[in-house]
Chains A and B, each alone.
Chain A
Amino acid sequence: AQTVTQSQPEMSVQEAETVTLSCTYDTSESDYYLFWYKQPPSRQMILVIRQEAYKQQNATENRFSVNFQKAAKSFSLKISDSQLGDAAMYFCAYRTENTGTASKLTFGTGTRLQVTL
């Protein structure tokens, strides 16, 4: 079974600075997807960024980018120019490409990000 590990329960960053959230995962599969989701106090899960394992290029979405190291099974999220609205829980998630398992998401334990003035 796949596992997703987020070793940082909490992180803090000053407004306008850059922060990196860590995520590692364990899988025996070669094809899969990785995601970062944001859960603000409203509890709504919001997709931040997505990475296909077969793509070597790291995904970017505006101020959000990832460092995907397939061999190391590492998938970190970098938030640049942090804003107060970035404060939330961030979950790393894994999804198999195996259609037989209905492609369910496996979530990490989350990292709570605080953004300070």
Chain B
Amino acid sequence: GAVVSQHPSRVICKSGTSVKIECRSLDFQATTMFWYRQFPKQSLMLMATSNEGSKATYEQGVEKDKFLINHASLTLSTLTVTSAHPEDSSFYICSARRDYNSPLHFGNGTRLTVT
């Protein structure tokens, strides 16, 4: 089955630094990738939709200058949390699909802790 790899699985960074999270589709080309954020014991909240070769579409309330998304190839999207603050600590999950009619495949998530 289709596999989506997310790296790193855990990261701890200091306040004010930036951290990059990678999302790769290992055995298919993903035209669209989605980035979600999940707080403890809560649901997944969509942050942005990333289409290969174009700018990401951010959901209302998500700061695009803080959460930089790059979808430079059909198999890789990255989320960079810039100038991280403790309130950015969360679980970030990416998902990818081959095309519009294909199912979504999720990565294993990244737990970000900002100290």
Residues of A within 8 A of B (CB): 42-47, 50, 91, 99, 102-110
Contacts and interface: CB of A to CB of B under 8 A. Distances in A.
A43 B108 contact: yes
Contacts of B106: 44-46
A104 B43 contact: no
Task: Tell me if B's interface is mostly helix, strand, loop or mixed.
Answer: strand
Contacts of A109: 42-43
Contact of B100 (A45, A47, A91, A103): A103
A106 B95 CA distance: 13
Contacts, number: 42
Nearest to A112: B41
Task: Tell me if A's interface is mostly helix, strand, loop or mixed.
Answer: loop
A109 B32 CA distance: 24
A61 to B, nearest CB: 13
A105 B104 contact: yes
Nearest to A9: B41
Contacts of A104: 34, 46, 49
B28 interface: no
B44 interface: yes
A104 B93 CA distance: 14
